[in-house]
Amino acid sequence: MGYAHFAALLLCVFMFASGTTADNQNSTGDPARPAEVRIGALFTFDSVIGKAVRPAIELAVAHVNSDPSILRGTKLSVLMQDTNCSGFVGTIEALQLLAKDVIAVLGPQSSAVAHVICHAVNELHVPLISFAATDPTLSSLEYPYFVRATQSDYYQMDAIASIISQYQWKQVIAIYVDDDYGRGGIMALGDALAKRKCKIVYKAKLPPGAANTTIENILMQVNEMESRVYVIHVNPDSGLNVFSAAKSLGMMSSGYVWIATDWLSAVMDSSVHGTTDVMELTQGVLVLRQHVADSDIQKALLSKWNNLTRNGSSYSMRAYDSVWLIAHAVERFLSEGNAISFSADPNLQATKGSNLQLDSLRIFNNGNKLLENVWNVNFSGVSGPVQFTLDRNLIHPVYDILNIGGTGLRTIGYWSNISGLSVVAPEHSYSSALNSSTNNVQLHSVIWPGQISEKPRGWEFSYHGKPMRIGVPLRTSYKEFVTQDNGPDGVKGFAVDVFKAAISLLPYPVSCNFVLFGDGLKNPSYTDLVQKVSENYFDAAIGDIAIVTNRTRLVDFTQPYIESGLIIVAPAKEVESNAWAFLKPFTFQMWCVLGAIFLSVGAVVWVLEHRTNTEFRGPPRQQIMTVCWFSFSTMFFAHRENTVSALGRFVLLIWLFVVLIINSSYTASLTSLLTVQELTSGIQGLDSLISSSSAIGYQVGSFSRNYLVDELNIAESRLVPLNSPSDYARALELGSGNGGVAAIIDELPYVDIFLSKYCKFKTVGQVFTKSGWGFAFPRDSPLAEDLSTAILTLSENGNLQRIHDEWLSGTECSADNNGAASNSLSLSSFWGLFLICGLACLLALVIFFLRIFCQYSRYSSQVEVQYPEPQIVNRPARLTTIKSLISFVDKKEEEVKNALKQRPNGSQHPSIGNTATEEQST
């Protein structure tokens, strides 16, 4: 582009003849302080921006010359040239300015003209300071002498992308003028949207100076598209024609979103165009404007220039500050002792016999030093701080976000590169933390086109009355999910009902025309169906479509409406119950522990009841039989012995509760074993199936074939295509060696239906892929997102389960038959109960023996006092004590109590008094 522009520049040199005068500065004067320095100003006098900046430039020059603190003794003069809204004329005017030995050029306001002039100022080393050229590409290293004294559209487009992301719109249409200004801005917009996962779906190019009919034709094409979010980036002088055409086409009504760049705010801020007609054309439009904060400098100028107000054009303020920018840079340039001088450019020598005076264009010798001073300027201007960053842009880019409504503009928020979107003035965010509570990403309420306050959806169906073409697979098996029908829709099934129910929840009507896909002889390829959606042959596809990786690369899927995944189905054989099946409810260890606990509890109860209960006394043989009978009879709650002691009843109560739980568990487990037969299969799992050489079946049209080949590396020669459940059963019955298959790998919903009809097969292992079924839509289709929300609503309100039960709940055999038999109950299932029972027994025994020891202590001391034992036989004292203790424990409780009540002077010897009683008890 640079060489083409430079060629155009040389062509323009033909336009000024040999009589062109060079009213140049005298380079032989005082090199330190010349009497006058001249700058140029290049803009269109009669344009919206030109009418605002001309008085600003003139006022700024007057203020500079009247300020004794700057350019002491040197007068600043400006030479203005009118570009007449023409790139060609603007180029000529720029060359005429450069031929007058100006040290800097203000402008141009057009980015297209700036691109051409940049090549000239690069050659002549003259800084080009533009107050209106916003094309981001002008900041490239190709144009070192270009100085942007306004904000780049790079930031403005970032602000627009933030607004679009804030309102959750994903697709926009860009309407722009097809020149350097329009193309550069829209390119920046596309980059900013991509960072937020949004995109420009269509770029509507307007020729510069396009006629109204051309604009209407382009807008009619735009209106045929799905997106209703428009970003308009055109020139101020012709931009209103776009809104006029849009209004005549009905595109300024409800449902549309219009976002205009700062060209529209320049038009609105102009006193010439601020009319009622303009407001009526742009009702509900969002528009950006370069933010200008209130300042003391601005207030001081109000009395001198009434047009310079807070609502005035930001371009006029930028132009005013641009003059002061040059003045500060020249002041520092001269203070450093640099001279203003020019020299001939050896590359532009006059050619003999030519009327081109190329030597009239001279190089500014110290232009690079003046440019360096321009980059280092730092002062507070009318528009705010004037200071440049390392990437040659003004610091603190800030935009007001305005909403046009009624008879004026209303600020709904701000955008800055520090705080992003905010409802707080950005000058406050510079001094506060980014996460401060004063910053709020939410914007104020907006009145959208059509005078509505609800946020527009941002898209509409582009079919204009034509129903959507919905692709539906023509299945020949598993017709519960989707099948052909003679009804009005032509299709029915679980997937179809889910889709219809979800569509009914949308807040807008959707007309659908279901189109069958397939030949009706076998199940179609679902990958081919998805491919048709990506090619826009179908507007969507519904059915039992698995959401897998290779398909998500082509289309967008909704939220899954049913879980799926691959699982193995294998043949099984029934195992008959044997004669010892009644032992299976408990494990061997469990039976052993139960026997030991029964005897232990019986022994504990005997100990607790022996002294007080006659049923637990008698000869040793009889007592052993009593313990065994009592222990095992409690299993059936058939024990005849009554417990009379409190501790015995406590232990028995706990034990009977444990027995109740054990009996209930045994009964339930045995019932399950006798009613549910165990199924076994030779296939142990996925690994054993892969390592074998057996044939494997898969469903025609399913993604399982590609998964087996590509992911599991199974040879294609082992795979057998199957179409229907009857084919599945026949192949599994034949087996791998007889023309059938050893197992089938299919998706879980199909397998559930198959097993509900063929009970002699079973699943092996777990589901080894996790996926789901969804509806397919073209890339970035907003309908996919809305339907996902509708499917979630169906799931939450229970309608999804109701539809599932209506189509898929009917079975011919119990699903329990397909599972393995219940496992035998082990000790781990009851250790808590056994622990409670053991603690109860231990506690009862501790209390019992403590009571025995207390009685024995009192009893033995009383006996020793009354009847001292003669020391005739020599035996160990400890053995005597243990023997007497055992003898004491064996005594009846009543006998001990009576002995303790007798007084020492009137009682008989305990051994004599108890002889008759012991004989009766035995």
Q: Which residue has the higher pLDDT, 524 or 358?
A: 524
At the fourth CATH level, the homologous superfamily of domain 153-293+396-428 is Response regulator (3.40.50.2300)
Which pLDDT score, from 0 to 100, does residue 722 have? 93
- Of 591-595, 663-667, 787-791, 858-862, which has the strongest mean pLDDT? 787-791
Which pLDDT score, from 0 to 100, does residue 738 have? 85
108: CB partners within 8 A, 6+ apart = 42, 43, 83, 90, 94, 114, 117, 130, 132, 133
**Measured CA angle at 247 (ends 245, 251), to 5 deg:** 100
pLDDT of 369 strictly over 60: yes
Residue 402: phi, psi to the nearest 5? -115, 155
Domain 468-564+772-808 has CATH 3.40.190.10: yes
Give domain limits for the chain. 36-150+298-393, 153-293+396-428, 468-564+772-808, 581-660, 679-764
CA-to-CA distance for 165 and 421, rounded, in angstroms? 11
Q: Which residue has the higher pLDDT, 87 or 687?
A: 687
Out of 35-44, 85-94, 714-723, pick the least confident. Answer: 85-94
Q: Is 574 left (phi over 0), alpha (psi -120 to 50) or beta?
A: beta
Q: Residues 61-75: pLDDT tens digits?
A: 999 999 988 988 899
Distances (CA, A) of 560 to 523, 541, 543, 550, 598: 21, 14, 11, 16, 55
Q: Residues 168-208: pLDDT tens digits?
A: 998 999 999 999 999 999 999 999 999 998 999 999 999 98
864 alpha-carbon distance from chain centroid: 91
User: Where does the pLDDT of residue 837 fall: very low under 50, low under 70, confident under 90, or very high at 90 and above?
Assistant: confident
CA-to-CA distance for 490 and 472, rounded, in angstroms? 10
At the fourth CATH level, the homologous superfamily of domain 36-150+298-393 is Response regulator (3.40.50.2300)
Q: What is the mean pLDDT of residues 693-718?
A: 91
pLDDT of 23 strictly over 60: no
Q: Which residue has the higher pLDDT, 154 or 589?
A: 154
- Of 607-616, 628-637, 730-739, which has the strongest mean pLDDT? 730-739
Which pLDDT score, from 0 to 100, does residue 864 have? 54
Residues of the chain with pLDDT > 70, as a percent, come to 78
Q: How many CB atoms sit inside 10 A of residue 41's CB?
A: 26
pLDDT of 702 strictly over 50: yes
Q: Which two tokens stand for residue 7?
A: 């060629």
Helices (H), 34-128: 48-66, 87-98, 111-124
Q: Residues 520-579: pLDDT tens digits?
A: 888 999 999 999 999 999 999 999 999 999 999 999 999 999 999 999 998 876 555 666
pLDDT of 592 strictly over 90: no
Give the sheet arrangement for strand 199-206, strand by strand. Answer: 199-206, 171-177, 229-233, 257-260, 286-290, 398-405, 408-416, 420-422
Q: 468-564+772-808: same fold as 36-150+298-393? A: no
Cβ(766)–Cβ(564) below 8 Å:
no
Q: What is the mean pLDDT of residues 719-729?
A: 92
Out of 142-146, 293-297, 324-328, 565-569, pick the least confident. Answer: 293-297
Q: Residues 598-621: pLDDT tens digits?
A: 788 778 877 777 666 666 666 777
User: Where does the pLDDT of residue 754 fall: very low under 50, low under 70, confident under 90, or very high at 90 and above?
Assistant: very high
User: Where does the pLDDT of residue 98 fall: very low under 50, low under 70, confident under 90, or very high at 90 and above?
Assistant: confident
Q: Which residue has the higher pLDDT, 737 or 385?
A: 385
Q: Residues 409-451: pLDDT tens digits?
A: 899 999 998 889 999 887 766 555 444 444 446 799 999 999 9
Helices (H), 336-375: 367-375
User: Where does the pLDDT of residue 905 fall: very low under 50, low under 70, confident under 90, or very high at 90 and above?
Assistant: very low
Which pLDDT score, from 0 to 100, does residue 598 have? 78
Q: What is the mean pLDDT of residues 469-490?
A: 92
Q: Is 569 helix (H, G, I), strand (E, B) or coil?
A: strand
Out of 118-132, 824-838, 877-891, pick the least confident. Answer: 877-891
Q: Which two tokens stand for residue 810?
A: 């009917």
Which pLDDT score, from 0 to 100, does residue 12 have? 43
- Of 219-233, 346-360, 581-595, 851-865, which has the strongest mean pLDDT? 219-233
Which pLDDT score, from 0 to 100, does residue 436 have? 42
291: CB partners within 8 A, 6+ apart = 314, 384, 398, 399, 400, 414, 416, 426
The pTM (predicted TM-score) of the whole model is 0.69
Q: What is the mean pLDDT of residues 70-84?
A: 89
User: Where does the pLDDT of residue 24 fall: very low under 50, low under 70, confident under 90, or very high at 90 and above?
Assistant: very low
CA-to-CA distance for 778 and 540, rounded, in angstroms? 7
Q: Is 261 helix (H, G, I), strand (E, B) or coil?
A: coil
Q: Residues 48-64: pLDDT tens digits?
A: 888 888 888 988 999 99
Residues written for the chain: 922
CA-to-CA distance for 83 and 116, rounded, in angstroms? 13
Q: How many CB atoms sit inside 10 A of residue 304's CB?
A: 10
- Find the helix packing angle between 240-248 and 212-223, rounded to 10°: 60
Which pLDDT score, from 0 to 100, does residue 766 have? 87
Out of 236-240, 365-369, 749-753, pick the least confident. Answer: 236-240
Q: How many CB atoms sit inside 10 A of residue 40's CB?
A: 23
Out of 162-166, 206-210, 647-651, 661-665, pick the least confident. Answer: 647-651
Fold of 679-764: D-Maltodextrin-Binding Protein; domain 2 (3.40.190)
Helices (H), 505-645: 526-534, 549-552, 588-609, 620-633
Q: Which residue has the higher pLDDT, 347 or 228?
A: 228
Q: Supply the mean pLDDT for the chain.
A: 81
pLDDT of 860 strictly over 70: no
pLDDT of 226 strictly over 90: no
* Bridge partners, 381 (sequence order): 384
Cβ(566)–Cβ(505) below 8 Å:
no
Which pLDDT score, from 0 to 100, does residue 889 have? 65
pLDDT of 328 strictly over 90: yes
Cβ(300)–Cβ(312) below 8 Å:
no
Q: Which of 724, 679, 683 is nearest to 814 (CA)?
A: 679
Which pLDDT score, from 0 to 100, does residue 72 have? 85
Which pLDDT score, from 0 to 100, does residue 500 have? 95
pLDDT of 491 strictly over 90: yes
CA-to-CA distance for 638 and 655, rounded, in angstroms? 14
